[in-house]
Amino acid sequence: MSTSSVSKGCFVFKPSAKKKKTQSLEDYFVSGCEGAENSETRFRLCQDLWDKIKENTEVLQEELNRKILDSLLDFTKKCSSTPSHSNWAAQMRASEIPTAALVLGVNVPDHDMTFQSLSDLLQQSVSPYVASVQAKECGALKHLMKRVLERLMDTVVTVDDDEEEENEPISTQLHKSVHCSLGTLCDWYSAKTKKSNSGTPGKKRSSSDGDDPQQPPVVIIFKDLEVFNPRVLQDFILICSRYIQRLPLMFIFGIATSPSTIQNMLPHSVSSLLCIELFQSLSCTQHLATVIDKLILTHHFPFKLNGKVMQVLISIFLYHDFSVRNFIKGVQLALLEHFHSQPLSVLCCRKKEALLNVMQLSPGDLERIRQLPSFQRYVEKQEPEEQENLSTDDTHLKEVCKTLIKDLRKYHKNYYPVLRCLHTLATSLPRYPLGKQIRELHLICLEKNVWENEDYQSSMKLLKMLAKDELINLLQRCLEILQPVKSKQMEDARVQLEELLVKFKQLDTAAAEAQPCVEESIISPVKNLGKKTDLFQLQKTLLEMNETRRSKKLSPFELLRNEALELIDSLVKSHLSPPESLTLNEVCYYSSSATVRRHLNATPRTSIQAALSSPYYYLQNTSLKTEDGSVSNAAPDICIAYKLHLECGRLINLYDWLEAYATVVSAAEGNNPDSDNFGKVDEVKHARFIRAVSELEFLGFIKSTKQKTDHVARLTWGGC
């Protein structure tokens, strides 16, 4: 651009507006992805698989929450009825506010989803006037009142406080605002209901009391009751009770711990103003068991987690948050990491698509298959000629891979039904030797051969002690598990189970005929014990009884019972081998438990200590790079103070610490060590030191102590 002008002037040229290029999700996935030649296909497979898992998860969660949500809907409809239409409403005092105490459990991250579903259902079928509030935004009564009115009336609400008005943005102040009081809400509600009633054609008003019997309630949801300020909650309830005749209020308390929280927070004079009904949601452990059963223990999803990754996710659930939502996010993280880091994950898809992708594998992918540990074990078991073909012939390798992929699908199709059968049998035993939850048995099977486990062997011994009715019921349940499975092995097992059940039902007459003979053989030696005998004769008789028991023929029931348990044992040994023993298991199984633990179970203290000990790796400044692992004297002040505090004991003298810091800083400034000013503390160094110490105290490395006024206590041990 150029300008021509006789006079001097200043010309401003605006830069051309170039839109900033934003990367798509696929670009982020491909960036740094190993095996980029098929990264697009892997991204598509990953996204499709996650969409399917997410859809099934949402449907499952809706089914699990349906019972509690339906109960809450019935409660709100019952409360909104007039006394002439509801006996429950007639029993409630005029000044009482109907309240639902919803006990959701300590899995707080999952509560938002439940409350969102509840709010949507209430707005659709009960009342359009629903407001949800949280404790963090309601520190004072005026804040709580303001949030409630704003969310119900969908307008700007002002409070009688100059500071509040000053803090509001100009755009907010320009809009029409209303006064913050329940009287304003009553007037607004009355106008709204009149308008809706008058605007509804063909709707007749009640002539008895002049009020509309179908007035929708005003529902206020307190998501986290325990965190609310008790005084704020008490004042709000007292105010609401004064307006209950004009405004059909209704409360829903979200409780994470115990219903006794209401009594602990509210005195009797306030709690007596509430007509409370308790609702208990499904426990988070049952929720997790259902999610694992429907999403993990199924052959419909080709992506799998190995034992260590599964154990990490379950441990985070049990020992940190009890959040099923976070557990599913962990599965999503493992899914994304698997498809991003494993080029052969292109085969982790449906059977038909996987067989097509095998034929499109590049020479690099085929070489990766040859390097897989499971494939190398497979090659070692083959004949020398076959080993040579697998190592050199790519076409032959693809055909073998297609067969191995089919075998992997067959394994998963047979694994889960047999696992459920074994779990059904094991949970009927006392003390649950193989675990109470099916996920515990699944982890055992992922780790090693379950039939080599001592608990499995003891379980089989205990199953031989079951009564006939108990055993028949368990076998019938196993038959129901195998019934829908379309597999040749499972069909054969199903036929054998059906034959055994038929034989069990035909045992009654045969057992009745064989019983007298058995009793006679057992009791006959006992008859001699009634006679007078010596010690030698008694010992001889007891030995004869023992030999009789050993040589006793097994009854028909015992023969059938042993045959049934042998069938179960053969199914276990045939189909419950660990997945690591399968060839190409790396295609479907994600095994990097360290990555999952690092992302989901972060250790901020370790990261902070590593940053303070090695600032070069974080700041990338060459002057901070050291060879022996020590901190450079040119490092930030907090790094120098941290390194010096590691050399002290439990109590640190602040003056000595300051002098050591001043010496290190003087060396960094290039001062002559022999000069008088070297290591001298001036105001600047003093201020820098105080700031570094304050930062260390904020991070939790030191704390002030009353033992010595000029000392601080150290809260760490050793280095990073």
User: Residue 471's pLDDT is what?
Assistant: 93
Same domain, 312 and 408: yes
Residue 706 has pLDDT above 90, yes or no: no
Same domain, 416 and 557: no
Q: 3-state class of 650 per DSSP? A: coil
The domain total for the chain is: 4
Domain final residue pick, 556, 590, 624: 590
Does 160 map to a domain? yes
Phi, psi of 293 (to 5 degrees): -65, -35
* Residue 554 CA from chain centroid, whole number: 50
Q: How far apart are CA 182 and CA 243, in angstroms?
A: 7
Mean pLDDT of the region 289-314: 94
Q: Which residues contact 189 (CB under 8 A, 6 or more apart)?
A: 129, 218, 247
CATH code, domain carrying 691: 1.10.10
- Report whether 517 contacts 509 (CB < 8 A): no
Same domain, 304 and 359: yes
Same domain, 308 and 377: yes
Does 76 map to a domain? no
Does 29 map to a domain? no
Does 238 map to a domain? yes
Phi, psi of 103 (to 5 degrees): -90, 110
E strand spans, 256-307 = 274-280, 304-305
Residue 153 has pLDDT above 70, yes or no: yes
Mean pLDDT of the region 344-354: 93
Same domain, 456 and 535: no
Q: Which residues contact 251 (CB under 8 A, 6 or more apart)?
A: 97, 98, 99, 100, 219, 220, 221, 222, 274
pLDDT tens for residues 187-237?
Answer: 999 998 887 666 544 444 343 333 444 589 999 999 999 999 999 999 999
Q: Which residue, among 332, 551, 576, 566, has the nearest Cα to 450 in the 3D structure?
A: 576
User: Residue 515's pLDDT is what?
Assistant: 53
Same domain, 506 and 641: no
**Token reading at 486:** 């379309």
- Give the whole-number percent of the chain exceeding pLDDT 90: 57
Q: How far apart are CA 600 and CA 117, in angstroms?
A: 27
User: Residue 94's pLDDT is what?
Assistant: 65
pLDDT tens for residues 534-585?
Answer: 777 777 777 777 666 655 677 888 899 999 999 999 999 999 999 999 999 9
Q: How far apart are CA 424 and CA 413, in angstroms?
A: 18
Average confidence score pLDDT of the chain: 84
Same domain, 135 and 268: yes
Does 676 map to a domain? yes
Q: How far apart are CA 391 and CA 375, in angstroms?
A: 11
Provide the 10 A C-beta neighbour count for residue 81.
16
Q: How far apart are CA 365 and CA 397, in angstroms?
A: 11
- Tell me the β-bridge partners of 276: 99
Q: How far apart are CA 597 and CA 192, in angstroms?
A: 53
Q: What is the DSSP string of 684-713?
A: HHHHHHHHHHHHHHHHTSEEE-SS-TTEEE
User: Residue 296's pLDDT is what?
Assistant: 93
Q: Which of 251-260, 396-405, 516-525, 608-617 has the lowest mean pLDDT?
A: 516-525
Same domain, 555 and 582: no
Q: What is the DSSP string of 408-472?
A: HHHHHHHHHHHHHHHHHHHTTSTT-TT-SSHHHHHHHHHHS-GGGSHHHHHHHHHHTT--HHHHH
- Report whether 93 contacts 275 (CB < 8 A): yes
Q: How far apart are CA 425 and CA 434, in angstroms?
A: 10
Q: How far apart are CA 437 and CA 41, in angstroms?
A: 37
582/84: higher pLDDT: 582
Q: How far apart are CA 251 and CA 223, in angstroms?
A: 11
Mean pLDDT of the region 96-118: 91
Which residue has 């499975």 as its token pair? 485
Residue 185 has pLDDT above 70, yes or no: yes
Does 64 map to a domain? no
The DSSP secondary-structure symbol of 318 reads: I
Q: Is 464 exposed, middle or buried (0-12, 13-18, 19+ CB in 10 A)?
A: exposed
User: Residue 510's pLDDT is what?
Assistant: 58
Q: 3-state class of 127 per DSSP? A: coil
Does 424 map to a domain? yes
Same domain, 333 and 292: yes
User: Residue 508's pLDDT is what?
Assistant: 64
Same domain, 568 and 609: no
Q: What domain range is 236 assigned to?
A: 92-190+214-282
Residue 375 has pLDDT above 90, yes or no: yes
Does 5 map to a domain? no
Same domain, 294 and 262: no
Q: How far apart are CA 405 and CA 245, in angstroms?
A: 70
Q: How far apart are CA 589 and CA 305, in angstroms?
A: 5
Q: How far apart are CA 680 and CA 682, in angstroms?
A: 6
Q: Which of 68-72, 509-513, 617-621 has the lowest mean pLDDT?
A: 509-513
CATH code, domain carrying 141: 3.40.50.300
**Token reading at 288:** 């997790």
Phi, psi of 700 (to 5 degrees): 90, 25
Same domain, 413 and 491: no
